[in-house]
DNA sequence: TCCCAGGGCATCA
DNA sequence: TGATGCCATGGG
C-alpha cells in the first residue's frame, strides 16, 4: 500500500549531503536513525505519535508517514518542526556573501555550501542537552542522553525497533536524584536538569515566553538566572532553539580550537581577538560558530 | 598517568 | 572583576 507523503519545496541553498553529514557524525544519537538519503524520526502532535522518513534532496524534502495516516494538523505541525530543525527558512547566500570578505573563512562558502544550521526546536531538549554536555566529551554526552531518553522518554515500536521522544518537563520534574542512578550524570547536573524541568512545568520558563522578551540580552538574562545555566548554555540554547543569529557560546572548547586553527585567536584566553572577529560579522555569529564546528571534522 | 572534553558554581582576594 | 578549585568520567 502506498504510504502518504508530504512534499516540502526548498527555495534556498540546501545541500542534502551536508545536512546528512551533520546528522551522521558518528555519535550514538538516540532520537533519530539515518538511512540512505534521509533520516527517520518519531514525532508527536497532540496525541498522534508518528514515525516519519524524511527524504532529503537539494531542492525538496519528502516526508513519508510510516505508521499511520496523519491528521492535517499533525502534518502542518511536524512539517513546521522539521523546517525549524533543519533551518529551511534561512537564506545562506547572504551569509556566504558576508564571509567572502575574510580570506581565513571565505572557503567555507564553497566547502560547506548548503549546510544548514541544524537546530533543536524544543527549547527544553536544547537546554537539557547543553547541561548534559557541559565539560564532557561528545561521545560520552550522547551515551548519557541515550540513557536518559530510553529510561524516561515516550516511545513507539515500529517493525521491532524502538523510537523515542525526548522526555517532557512533566516527566523529568517529578524525579529525584535516585531515579538517575547509574546514568553517570554528576549530582550537580541532575539537580540542574530537574530544576530546568520544574521551570518549564510551572510555566516560569517557556520558548514562547522567551520569544516575547525584547532582545537577546533579556533572554540570556532570563536563562542564566536559573542554576546550572551559564553564558555558554544560554547562548547555545538560543542559537540552536530560538535561532538567535547573534549568539556565540564563548569558551566553547570546539569553537576555541577552530578559532585557533584559523589564526583568529593567538591562544585560548585571547577573548579580545575573538570578540573583534565576531564584531565584523554581526547577524551571522551563530552561523559562523556552526561552520567553525563543521571545520573541526575532516572533509567527507 | 596526564590532559582535554561543545561548563558552571562557590569561594576568595 | 578575575582567578582558582572542584565536580565527574571517558578517551586519547
For the stretch A159-177, pLDDT in tens is 999 999 999 999 999 999 8
Spanning CA of A123 to C1' of B10, the rounded length in angstroms is 28
Q: How far apart are the C-alpha atoms of A10 and A176, rounded to whole Å?
A: 45
pLDDT of A298 strictly over 80:
no
Buried-exposed string A29-46: b where 16+ CB fall within 10 A, e elsewhere: bbbbbeeeebbbbbbbbe
Q: How far is residue A247's CA from residue A251's CA, in Å, rounded to a whole number?
A: 13
The answer to whether some atom of strand B lies closer than 7 Å to the beta carbon of A257 is yes
| Cβ-Cβ contacts under 8 Å for A45 (sequence gap 6 or more) | A70, A71, A73, A74, A77, A78
Least confident among A21-30, A147-156, A222-231: A21-30
pLDDT of residue A267: 87
The secondary structure element, H or E, covering residue A65 is: strand A60-65
- The stretch A228-233 carries a mean pLDDT of 95
Residue nearest the C1' of C11 (CA based): A137
Mean pLDDT of chain A: 95
Per-residue pLDDT, A181: 85
DSSP state of A18: H
Nucleotide nearest to A252 (CA to C1'): B6
Give A179-210 as a DSSP string. Answer: GGTTS---HHHHHHHHHHHHHHHHTSS-HHHH
Confidence bin at A300 (pLDDT 50/70/90): low
Is any atom of strand B within 7 angstroms of residue A233's beta carbon?
A: yes
Categorize the per-residue pLDDT at A293 as very low, low, confident or very high, splitting at 50, 70 and 90.
very high
pLDDT digits 0-9 by tens, A50-76: 999 999 999 999 999 999 999 999 999
- With residue A22 as reference, give the H or E element that holds it: helix A16-23
Q: How confident is the model at residue A156 (pLDDT cuts 50, 70, 90)?
A: very high
The one-character DSSP state at A298 is: P
* pLDDT tier at A25, thresholds 50, 70, 90: confident
Q: Which nucleotides of B are covered by protein (CB under 7 A)?
A: 4-10
- Listed in order, strand segments (DSSP E) in A199-266 are none
* In the predicted structure, residue A26 carries a pLDDT above the cut 90: no
Query: Which sequence positions of A are flagged as catalytic?
Result: 252
Q: Is the pLDDT of residue A299 over 80?
A: no
Amino acid at each position: 500500500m502506498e504510504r502518504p507523503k508530504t512534499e516540502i519545496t526548498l527555495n534556498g541553498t540546501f545541500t542534502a549531503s551536508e545536512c546528512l553529514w551533520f546528522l551522521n557524525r558518528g555519535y550514538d544519537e538516540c532520537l533519530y536513525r539515518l538511512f540512505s538519503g534521509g533520516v527517520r524520526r518519531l514525532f508527536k502532535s497532540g496525541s498522534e505519535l508518528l514515525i516519519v522518513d524524511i527524504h532529503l534532496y537539494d531542492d525538496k524534502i519528502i516526508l513519508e508517514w510510516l505508521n499511520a495516516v496523519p491528521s492535517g494538523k499533525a502534518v502542518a505541525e511536524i512539517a513546521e518542526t522539521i523546517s525549524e530543525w533543519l533551518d529551511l527558512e534561512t537564506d545562506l547566500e547572504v551569509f556566504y556573501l558576508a564571509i567572502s570578505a575574510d580570506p581565513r573563512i571565505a572557503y567555507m562558502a564553497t566547502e560547506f555550501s548548503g549546510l544548514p544550521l541544524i537546530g533543536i526546536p524544543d527549547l527544553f531538549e536544547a537546554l537539557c542537552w547543553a547541561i548534559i554536555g557541559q565539560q564532557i566529551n561528545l561521545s560520552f554526552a550522547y551515551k548519557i542522553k541515550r540513557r536518559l531518553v530510553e529510561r524516561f522518554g515516550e516511545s513507539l515500536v515500529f517493525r521491532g525497533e524502538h523510537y523515542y521522544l525526548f522526555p517532557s518537563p512533566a516527566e523529568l520534574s517529578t524525579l529525584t536524584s535516585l531515579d538517575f542512578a547509574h546514568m553517570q550524570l554528576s549530582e550537580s547536573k541532575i539537580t540542574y536538569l530537574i530544576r530546568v524541568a520544574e521551570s518549564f512545568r510551572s510555566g516560569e520558563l517557556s520558548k514562547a515566553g522567551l520569544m516575547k522578551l525584547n532582545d537577546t540580552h533579556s533572554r540570556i538574562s532570563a536563562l542564566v538566572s536559573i542554576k546550572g545555566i551559564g553564558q555558554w548554555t544560554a547562548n547555545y540554547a538560543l542559537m540552536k532553539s530560538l535561532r538567535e543569529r547573534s549568539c556565540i557560546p564563548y569558551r566553547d572548547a570546539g569553537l576555541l580550537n577552530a578559532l585557533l586553527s584559523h589564526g583568529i585567536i593567538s591562544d585560548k584566553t585571547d577573548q579580545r581577538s575573538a570578540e573583534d572577529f565576531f564584531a565584523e560579522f554581526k547577524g551571522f555569529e551563530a552561523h559562523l560558530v556552526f561552520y567553525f564546528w563543521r571545520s573541526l571534522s575532516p572533509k567527507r
